[in-house]
């Protein structure tokens, strides 16, 4: 068991507390294994009637997976895929758990934090909740099954997935990533379908057409989104868009399977290590992507990421 996970049971309510506040409770593999072990034990414990997942510290629920450690394992040729297998198995356990799970997504809740929080039975957000799926910033795709929800959220879901845009608790309710406010105070959604530039610019299934629509739109918010999209990993953006389109037809387990199978190609053959270097290690924010622009990414490379699905009957 990890000391970075605290557990207790009071009056039939089992509680998991993420206890790594110095890094906003970023998830490493021992933490995830400890959670999985506790949840497995509570399934068989008749004294446990429900579970809550909360977090220590005042900065946030969970900043996501510890991608710096993951990138280090990738660089060294270690068993990096096992990290993701553990993470996705935990997310699926939360989604299918036979007893009700409540998650309290205070403050920063991003990436793997949404994987923990957004698949539970009762998902609570707060006035200080700040969410994002920031993966295209570091050269990978939004994972942990969140494309199950984002693919069903239309143009707003595409905007958040492709640009790594931050959003708040009000957005989370609209996106089916949360159920209720814990403090009765929520910011108005940052993005909603009434913002016509989102609907207009994200209508295409072609990432190049999307970014050009954003860049040429009269709304300055669209042009700002276009600049953000241009800064993301071009390869990751193309793969993300195709994965989103496919996710509309998949259940959660199938989306998580797609996440894992795509990771096998995208992580070692794409921009992940360089994205982590530029954003988190050296912090120069000047990644040298494998392909510099969306226009330069060969569709053969995107097709290769999805080759495992070649036997699908669409």
Contact 180, 122 (CB under 8 A): yes
Mean pLDDT of 207-232: 98
State what percent of residues in the chain have pLDDT above 90.
94
**Of the candidates 156, 303, 155, 167, which has an alpha carbon nearest to the alpha carbon of residue 243?**
303
What backbone phi and psi angles, to 5 degrees, belong to 7?
A: -130, 150
According to the model, what pLDDT value does residue 262 have?
Answer: 96
d(CA 306, CA 314): 13
Q: Which fold has domain 5-309?
A: 2-enoyl-CoA Hydratase; Chain A, domain 1 (3.90.226)
Name the 3-class secondary structure at 108.
strand
Whole-angstrom distance, CA of residue 45 vs CA of residue 38: 11
Predicted confidence (pLDDT) per residue in 28-75, tens digit:
999 999 999 999 999 999 999 999 999 999 999 999 999 999 999 999
Burial of 257 (0-12, 13-18, 19+ CB in 10 A): middle
What pLDDT digit, counting tens, does each position of 7-36 carry? 999 999 999 999 999 999 999 999 999 999
Note the pTM of the prediction, 2 decimals. 0.94
Q: Give 314's pLDDT tier (boundaries 50, 70, 90).
A: very low
pLDDT digits (tens, 9 = 90+) for 81-140: 999 999 999 999 999 999 999 999 999 999 999 999 999 999 999 999 999 999 999 999
Q: State the Cα–Cα distance between residues 183 and 35, nearest whole angstrom.
A: 26
Cα distance between residue 255 and residue 108, in whole Å: 24
């Amino acid at each position: 068991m990890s000391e970075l996970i605290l557990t207790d049971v009071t009056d039939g309510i089992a509680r998991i507390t993420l206890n790594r506040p110095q890094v906003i409770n970023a998830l490493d593999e021992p933490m995830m294994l400890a959670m999985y072990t506790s949840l497995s034990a509570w399934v068989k414990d008749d004294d446990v009637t429900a579970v809550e997942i909360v977090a220590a510290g005042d900065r946030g629920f969970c900043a996501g997976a510890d991608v710096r450690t993951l990138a280090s394992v990738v660089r060294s040729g270690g068993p990096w895929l096992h990290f993701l297998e553990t993470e996705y198995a935990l997310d699926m356990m939360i989604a299918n758990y036979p007893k009700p799970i409540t998650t309290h997504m205070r403050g920063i809740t991003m990436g793997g934090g949404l994987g923990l929080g957004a698949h539970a039975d009762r998902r609570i957000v707060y006035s200080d909740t700040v969410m994002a799926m920031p993966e295209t910033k570091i050269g990978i795709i939004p994972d942990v099954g969140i494309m199950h929800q984002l693919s069903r959220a239309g143009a707003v879901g595409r905007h958040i997935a492709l640009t790594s845009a931050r959003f708040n608790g009000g957005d989370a309710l609209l996106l089916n990533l949360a159920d209720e406010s814990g403090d009765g105070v929520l910011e108005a959604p940052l993005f909603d379908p009434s913002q016509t530039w989102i609907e207009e610019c994200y209508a295409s299934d072609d990432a190049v057409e999307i970014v050009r629509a954003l860049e040429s739109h009269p709304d300055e918010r669209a042009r700002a989104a276009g600049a953000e999209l241009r800064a993301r990993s071009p390869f990751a953006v193309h793969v993300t868009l195709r994965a989103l389109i496919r996710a509309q037809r998949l259940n959660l387990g199938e989306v998580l399977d797609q996440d894992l199978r795509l990771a096998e190609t995208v992580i070692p053959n794409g921009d992940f290590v360089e994205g982590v270097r530029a954003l988190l290690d050296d912090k120069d924010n000047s990644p040298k992507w494998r392909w510099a622009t969306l226009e330069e990414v060969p569709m053969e490379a995107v097709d290769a990421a999805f080759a495992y699905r070649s036997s699908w009957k669409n």
